[in-house]
Each structure stands twice: as structure tokens, then as C-alpha cells.
Structure 1
């Protein structure tokens, strides 16, 4: 038997498995069109490249995960791209197929040097940059230095870089990225073109995560993606990391990415349960409040997270009250509930709730017994619900009605709340019937039937400045409370319509919509008073007795004040 007969060849090697690439790296933007939420910066860079007005140093700042380093690499590709035919110049749309583009994307281009300032903080590291910047680029159009977390450089390193940074060679560009721009010396800031990368809005993140989930072949509930976007706090990288975890969690549980699974994974409280808890707080139902809190605690929700979500609820209701655009990441049910509370709660009550919850959040964060501290904080809010509003109390003391019993205020419950929560919010308990009513709602006030009644209503509630403006400027086109259309054909005071709507909403507890139109409208109260005065005088002069007296005594004058009193 020969040696060749025994040769079995090279043993078969096991195939090397491809390493999994996390979503935050897999979906890192490769073109400026894929960079979400930074349209202003992209437009500025596109115009600078098109007009050949490129700065020699760029400073990119923003919170973590908004794309600072990715943007720096995109700028490097945009400046060094030569196009598929090798004849192109700088462009805001790098081709991604030429050798410079591919080398920069893979991090192996010899003329694009990336340095982490957190691990290269000294003057010696900067000396290497200064020495290297003297030599022309080997194969690229520009030699580019990308320094991440540049604020970590030492004072000596910054000082050593100043001269080169101010007057670099024509072939060198510096790209700095930092999350703490306040730590960068002013002398460096003044030598750079600064771009502040914004937090990515939650609705844009939700759309992006939906695209990623679809590309990965994973089904995801819209509410689940909205929860991930809200938890990301404007950071695409953080959101993709959370989504990666949620997909892995869904693989273990079976099915797609569900909202309840994401909520449990993140330790978030159920926002529906928090809305119920908020309604119970407004109703002053202490036992029900404690039961609802304990249920959340048993589900594994951190007491501090409960207070944080309650703070978000108060903030959302306040924004709804001032007429701010609702957060598109919120569900329709939540937007409806916030609008309801914003209509029914006064500004003093919302500010009081905010301060009480904020104080409770601080106490729970440092408490030895967090759940007990959270219970005490919520009971303090329940107790505050029975206290009269300070502003209303001051007005009652001023007009001498402070001894009268406070009228029962309507309970405030979220729109679409469960039947149990509605009953707890709408009907007072028997043992609370004799106690003062919570000063959380607004006493119902009849809507004015005409401009005269509106003017009188403002005066009754002490809004004398607005009352004067209504008298002088309100020209009604359509009067159908709580909707008004008024004339803007003549100049109006600044923010007249908005301020009037806010005053009437505080007085009546109803949200008013006041629109302006460039039409004549009716006469103002002042103009009507002047017209009535002229008509009265004409009527007096037309009286035969008065006319005869004035004819007999040409120098006589009419005492109009006495004439009015005797009329």
C-alpha cells in the first residue's frame, strides 16, 4: 500500500459562524439621507460643499446616540468621495462604492485617522497629530482627523492644538465630537464650525424602529415601538439597543414585540393604570390610591417610576391646558385624558400637583423605605386635595365670604377610564360627604350669552385689565360660546385672542376657541356707549321744550350729567 493510498486529504474544517452584529451597528447611517432628525445640519453641509465654503474644523455636539461619530464619518466620505468613475468631487451624496468610501466605512482608510480622546488625553498624542498634519494625504483628497469625546483632552493638549487648529494646512480637516461641549475651551470653540445635533423626536424614532423591525422580519406592536422610542430619550443608538433586547425577549416568549412585554422588560408602569391612579388622587380616595400603588409595586414597578410617570401626566395636562401640540407618540386615549384634565384643572392646582410630586420623587430616590415613602407622598397629595385653592381663598376673604361653605366641585376623571375608576372619581364616599370638597376642579360657571355678559363676567372675577381690552377692542363676528370669531380689521393688542381664551377658560372651566378674521365685525362696547351717548343727546336736543329754551337763551348749556340722572 502506497503512501498516496493512505492520503485522505485535508480534514474538513467546521464552518466559522458569522458574528452577530447588533442593530445599533447594523443600521448605522451610511448616507446623509439615512441620518434622521438632523435636517438643518445636512442642509448647511450640502450648501457649504456645493459653494466650496468648507470649514477647516467641525465640532459636533449632542447627547449620546444622536449620530455624532456617524456624521463625522459621513463628512469624511463626502469630502473624499471620487465617485464610481473615480472622477467625482466633494458631494453631500457620497457614492459608497468607490475605494475611499468603502475604506472609510470599514475604518481602514490611511488618511482618515480616528482617535478616542478619552484614552489619548495628553500632549504627546496631540504632538503626533501636529506632526502628521504637515504631510499631504497619501491617497485621499483630504487628510481628516476625527477626535471623539474631544472634551477629555487635557488643558496642555488643547493648548498644543490651538495653532494648528487655527491655521491648518489646506489638505487637513478636523472633526471633533463631544457630549459635553461646555468642557471644551472657548479658544477651541471659536476655531470650529459648530453643529448641535438635536435629540431625535419620539415619532421619528418610532418610524425608524418600525422600519428596522420590518427589515429584521419581526412583528412589533406600534405601542411597543412607541415605548422603546420614549425610553430612548432622543437617542437612536439607545433605542436600537432596547429594540434589540425586546426582539430577543420576544424570541423567548414567542410572538412579536408586544407592548406589555416591553413594559415589563423596561420596568415601566402601565400608563393606563397610572391614569387611573391620577384620577383617584384627584378624587381624594386614599384607600383606593394605596391599593393601586401596591398593585403596581407587586407587578415589579419601581415606586420612583410611578412618581415619574405621574409627573409626566401633570406636565402633559399642563401642556394641553396652554394649547400645546400633543405628543404624537402618545396614544389617542392618553391624549384625550390629558386634554380633559387640562380643561378641568386650574393652573394653581396643576402647579401644586407638580411641586408635591417632585418633592415626593426626591424623597423616594433617597429613602430607606421607597414604597413607604411613595405612599406618604401620595397621601400628602390626597390631603392637599381637601385644601382650598389659595387664590380662591384670598378672593373670598377679600369680599367677606370666607365663612361660607365651599361649594362641591365636580370630580375629575379621565375620559374613557374604567368603570371602577369613574365611579370612584364621580361619587364621593359617604364618610367624606361632610368634609370640604376637593379644590381640584372648577366651579361650573354659565357661559356668557352676549358681549355685554362676557364683559361683566370678567369684571366679576377681577380680570379688570382684560375687561378694559374687551370693552375697547372686541368686535364680534360670531358669538357662540365657547367659540368666538372676532374682527382683526383694526389692530388688536398683542396675543389678545390667546389671553382672552385663557382668562375665560380659567373662569368657566371650559376650553374656549377664539379665532380672528379680517372682517369688519360688530361695534365694540365703547363704540356702542359713544353711539348711545350721541343718540341720547340728539333726543334731548330734539325735545320741543329744550329746543325752545336754547332758542330763547343762545348762550345756555345743557348739564348732561344731571340730565342723565333725571332721565
Structure 2
């Protein structure tokens, strides 16, 4: 038999196992302790964050022999039926509203709802994708949701609560679920990999968390794919970047260092490696923007990694800190703004490579622009002695070698004042050593 998907094997069976949703699970457990359970609930939030799973757990808590209880016993018949791999309970009915959301389905549900439960304490309807129920369907359910019999409970789960009509929403207790924080999700995935007894290289989990975008189910699906393809050495960073389509960190390091040094040849060589390597230019730009974002954070908050603002292995954070120090604040901010604008322009572009090369050129040539951020970027480079001119090997714009570099005294340099606030005379020439 084929093994169960990872997100099904590790589906929570109690509220204590649900991660990242304490603002929902704690009040629900307290309501069960106080025996103040409502007749209808509305669980809303992004996909894969635990809405349907929590609805099943609530059903277990309500129909447990020792219940209603915040912690199902796991041994009674109802708990076994509603367990992770259980056969299901005849008194807990899950309905997919995407295919059963019409008025006829609602009328059929209403007629069956008045029959009591066969073996359990309550008959519970879990209506998934509730936003797909039509207005006529909701109106047909309205009376039974408003005044249900004692044995009946409703749990609506939806990603779009605003599409549930107001008359239904007003009769439910609404619990909004949220995306799981990256740190919490990373720790959970690490524990899952430990239970699966498959080694995972440092740096892989942040990629999986990023691919899952806060969704536990999506992250578990990505992790399942990586574990399925793991060899004797486990899941390697190279394998993860290749399979998930992310840019190798070495390419990002190369292009960032080229930007910091004003080295156009190195930057365009990286662009060529991206194209020749078969990488998607749009994904490369998105990953570059993510890297620049991390550099901006590290430049502002040196201990960002300890505070959880940057999610990366220790060696990568150390390398990024060095890169952040090689930029000026205005220069780094300008580069991030230009890459962000370029990413927007790349949507639907017929030549992504050309767009990528233009982005690099804009970042490398602040002298070609007269806006404030470009002027500040040029000042940052002048302070660091980095070439801001277009020609390779040309001296830094405005940079005058010191006496030690010239082997003698510095020559006089003619300076023409630009305003009266310097010396009181407009256009006056002076000489300075």
C-alpha cells in the first residue's frame, strides 16, 4: 500500500497539537470546560491553516464519552471513529459546499438534521468551503441554523467569510485562523523530519517554509516531496533549491557583491549563468529582492537573526551581515526599490532576460539618474571609494588620490563655488591644496 501523505499522517488529533492558532484553540477549550458551546461556529482563514482539522477535533471533544471535554480520551468509540485514520462517524457529516451548495442540498440537509444522532451525543455538520453555498442555499438553512434542535451543531469552514451571508454569520461564533509564523512552522517541520528519521541539511527548512507561505498543509506537502526524493545523505540544500526552483545562494551572493563593488562585468556574468542554467529570471529577481530585504533589515538591526526578523542559517546570516556592511544605507534602499520595480515590470514581459539586464544596469549606474535616491546612492559610493562611472577601470567620480597615492604633494584643484553660501561670491574661483 502507498504511504499516506505527510499532512495526513501528522494531522492533529487534539487542540494541543494544533500549531500557531492559540488565539482560537485556547478559547474553544475554555468554552468546552465551561460547557458553553455554541450551536454554530464559523472558522475562517487562509488555506491549510487548520480550519477543517479544528472542526473535526471540536466534534471529537463534543462526542467523547467523557465530554464535552477540551481533551478527547482517544479510547471511546466516537474518538476512535474520528481519529486520524478512523472510519468516520455516522453522526459527524462533512459536506463539501463546492459541490453541495444549492438550495436542494440545503433542503435535504434541513430535513435530515431533525433526526437525532445514531450513537453519539450530537449530530454535527461540518460544511467545508462554506462560501460556495448559494444565497438561496443559505436562506434555506437559516431557520435550522438559527433555532436548531438540542442535538444539532453546525461548523462552517471557509477561506472567504465575507461571502457568507450576514444573517448566517450573525448566528455563529466566528473564529478567524491565521497563517502560521515561520519560526513555529520551521520547528514543527524539524520535528516531523526527526520522526521520519531522514536527515535534512541546514538551509532546507527555510526554503520549505517560504514555499509553504505560512500554510501548514502546503509546507507539509513540499516537505513530503523532498523526503520522497531524498537519498542516503538525506535532503540536501542543492536538491531543495533545484526541486523547488529557488535560486542558489551562491548566485545571489555573486550578484549582491557585484552591486556593492560596482562591477558590471561580474553582474552580467551572473545574469548569463542564470539564463544558461535554465533558471526562471522572474524567480531569480524575486529571490534577489528577498535577499536585499534581508540586507536592509540586517543593516538596520544587526541582531535581526536572534530576533527572528531574518530566517536563515547562522553561516548565511554572517555572510549577509558582511554584504550589508559593504553597502551604504541609501544605496541598499535604492537597489531594493529598483529590483522591486523591475519585478513588477517583468510580469508579462516578452524578454525576461532583457528586463533582468536592465535591472542590473539601473542598480549599477546611479550616475545616470538625477533623483534624490540616486544622488544619495552616489554619495554612499563616493564615501566608500567605489567607482560610479560607466567605464571600467575609470577613477571614482569626484575622487582625488591622496599624497601617498601620488608619491608627493597633492596638486591644486580648481573649485568653482556654486552659491553665495560658500564664500559670499557667486562664481568665484579659488584654489585649494
What pairs up with 1:373-388 in 2 under 5 angstroms? 373-384=355-366, 387=369
Of 283, 295, 308, which aligns to 2:273? Answer: 295
Structure 2 vs 1, CA of residues 275 and 392 (structure 1 numbering), >3 Å: closer, same or farther?
closer
Of 66, 69, 73, which aligns to 2:49? Answer: 66
The equivalent residue for 1:508 is none
Query: Structure 2: how far apart are the matches of 1:392 and 1:385?
Result: 7
Query: Structure 2: how far apart are the matches of 1:392 and 1:299?
Result: 32
Matched, 1:260 2:238: yes
The equivalent residue for 1:19 is 2
Check the 8 A contact 2:81/2:88 in 1, yes or no: yes
Give the deviation of 1:145 after TM superposition.
0.5
Corresponding residue pairs, total: 391
Of 341, 352, 363, which aligns to 1:359? Answer: 341
- Segment of structure 1 superposing worse, 355-364 or 117-126: 355-364
Give the deviation of 1:407 after TM superposition.
7.9
Query: Structure 2: how far apart are the matches of 1:347 and 1:194?
Result: 45
2:82 counterpart SS class? helix
The equivalent residue for 1:269 is 247
Structure 2 vs 1, CA of residues 388 and 409 (structure 1 numbering), >3 Å: closer, same or farther?
farther
What is the TM-score with the length of structure 2 in the denominator? Answer: 0.82
For structure 1, list consecutive stretches of 5 or more residues without a partner in the other structure: 1-17, 83-87, 395-404, 413-424, 438-567
Query: Structure 2: how far apart are the matches of 1:264 and 1:302?
Result: 12
Of 397, 418, 431, which aligns to 2:393? Answer: 431
The equivalent residue for 1:161 is 141
Give the deviation of 1:389 after TM superposition.
6.3
Structure 2 vs 1, CA of residues 249 and 134 (structure 1 numbering), >3 Å: closer, same or farther?
same
Check the 8 A contact 2:254/2:267 in 1, yes or no: no
Spell out, residue by residue over 1:453-507, the C-alpha distance to the aligned partner (whole angstroms, 9 max, x if none). Answer: xxxxxxxxxxxxxxxxxxxxxxxxxxxxxxxxxxxxxxxxxxxxxxxxxxxxxxx
Give the deviation of 1:294 after TM superposition.
1.8
The equivalent residue for 1:526 is none
Of 283, 290, 294, which aligns to 1:312? Answer: 290
Matched, 1:35 2:35: no
Spell out, residue by residue over 1:131-183, the C-alpha distance to the aligned partner (whole angstroms, 9 max, x if none). Answer: 22222222211111001111111121122222322222222111111122232
For structure 2, list consecutive stretches of 5 or more residues without a partner in the other structure: 400-433
What is the TM-score with the length of structure 1 in the denominator? Answer: 0.63
The equivalent residue for 1:540 is none
The equivalent residue for 2:127 is 147
RMSD: 2.9
Query: Structure 1: how far apart are the matches of 2:282 and 2:116?
Result: 57
1:222 counterpart SS class? coil
Check the 8 A contact 1:284/1:386 in 2, yes or no: no
Matched, 1:126 2:106: yes
Query: Structure 2: how far apart are the matches of 1:345 and 1:182?
Result: 45
Matched, 1:283 2:261: yes
1:175 counterpart SS class? strand
The equivalent residue for 2:422 is none
1:102 counterpart SS class? helix
Query: Structure 1: how far apart are the matches of 2:42 and 2:299?
Result: 39
Question: Quick one: higher RCO (CA 8 Å, sep 6+), 1 or 2?
Answer: 2
Query: Structure 2: how far apart are the matches of 1:434 and 1:240?
Result: 51
Query: Structure 2: how far apart are the matches of 1:186 and 1:347?
Result: 49
Query: Structure 1: how far apart are the matches of 2:255 and 2:373?
Result: 27
Query: Structure 2: how far apart are the matches of 1:380 and 1:436?
Result: 20
- Segment of structure 1 superposing worse, 170-179 or 117-126: 170-179
1:66 counterpart SS class? coil
Matched, 1:175 2:155: yes
Check the 8 A contact 1:304/1:361 in 2, yes or no: yes
Query: Structure 2: how far apart are the matches of 1:235 and 1:391?
Result: 37
Larger radius of gyration: 1
Spell out, residue by residue over 1:32-63, the C-alpha distance to the aligned partner (whole angstroms, 9 max, x if none). Answer: 22211112211111111111221221111222
